[in-house]
């Protein structure tokens, strides 16, 4: 089973795909989709949608997992995150992928063992769980963590 993990953000959305075979995880691919802050919002969201739709078409995952939205102190940041998340979820919906949502603390706990883990701890654990994987950046690492957490948390 292929699981697509997604870490939505308007500035840079991370994605990562792992193969799940029983308890075994194998890295398939990962990447990041950046948008230009100077471009109108509708165009940025369309770019995210198209890029994630292309990833889905290329790798044909069986399911997707997305980090749940969290509230920022800045309402504008929360709104932008929610819009990016909507574009990503729409791409999954168009492809008829089942989508699970996981809280950031639960993702960290599933990958590292503690919900209060720092990003560096998550990235170090990814190297252990997915040896040899070339991770394209912090957002791609977060997306791979979401995919791994989904593999551990979602009943098959």
> What percent of the chain has pLDDT above 70?
97
Q: Is 150 annotated as a binding residue?
A: no
User: Nearest Cα to 112, choosing from 137, 141, 90, 85?
Assistant: 141
Which one of 7, 21, 62, 68 is the catalytic residue? 7
Range of the structural domain that residue 99 is part of: 2-153
pLDDT band at 70 (very low <50, low <70, confident <90, very high): low
Across the range 43-54, mean pLDDT stands at 98
Task: Give the model's pLDDT for residue 119.
Answer: 87
Task: Give the model's pLDDT for residue 101.
Answer: 94
Active site residue 67: yes
pLDDT tens, residue by residue, 128-155: 999 999 999 999 999 999 999 999 888 7
Which one of 50, 67, 101, 118 is the catalytic residue? 67
pLDDT tens, residue by residue, 76-93: 888 888 999 999 999 999
Tokens 């590292």 appear where?
112
Angle of the 41-59 helix axis to the 75-94 helix axis, nearest 10: 40
Which one of 43, 136, 139, 142 is the catalytic residue? 139
CA distances to 63, 67, 152 from 106, rounded to whole Å, are 18, 9, 11
Task: Give the model's pLDDT for residue 78.
Answer: 84
Q: Which CATH number covers residue 81?
A: 3.30.420.10
Active site residue 21: no
Over 70: is that where the pLDDT of 156 sits?
no
The count of domains in the chain is 1
pLDDT tens, residue by residue, 30-45: 999 999 999 999 999 9
Task: Give the model's pLDDT for residue 77.
Answer: 83
Tokens 């699970």 appear where?
100
Active site residue 139: yes
């Amino acid at each position: 089973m292929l699981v697509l993990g997604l870490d939505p953000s308007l500035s840079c959305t991370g994605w990562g795909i792992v193969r799940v075979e029983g308890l075994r995880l194998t890295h398939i691919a990962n990447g990041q989709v950046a948008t230009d802050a100077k471009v109108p919002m509708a165009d940025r969201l369309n770019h995210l949608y198209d890029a994630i739709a292309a990833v889905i078409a290329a790798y044909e995952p069986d399911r997707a997992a997305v980090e749940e939205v969290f509230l920022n102190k800045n309402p504008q940041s929360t709104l932008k995150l929610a819009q990016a998340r909507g574009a990503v979820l729409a791409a999954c919906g168009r492809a008829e992928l089942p989508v699970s949502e996981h809280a950031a603390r639960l993702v960290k706990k599933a990958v590292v063992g503690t919900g209060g883990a720092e990003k560096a701890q998550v990235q170090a654990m990814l190297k252990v769980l997915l040896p040899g994987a070339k991770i394209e950046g912090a957002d791609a690492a977060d997306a791979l963590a979401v995919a791994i957490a989904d593999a551990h948390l979602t009943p098959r």
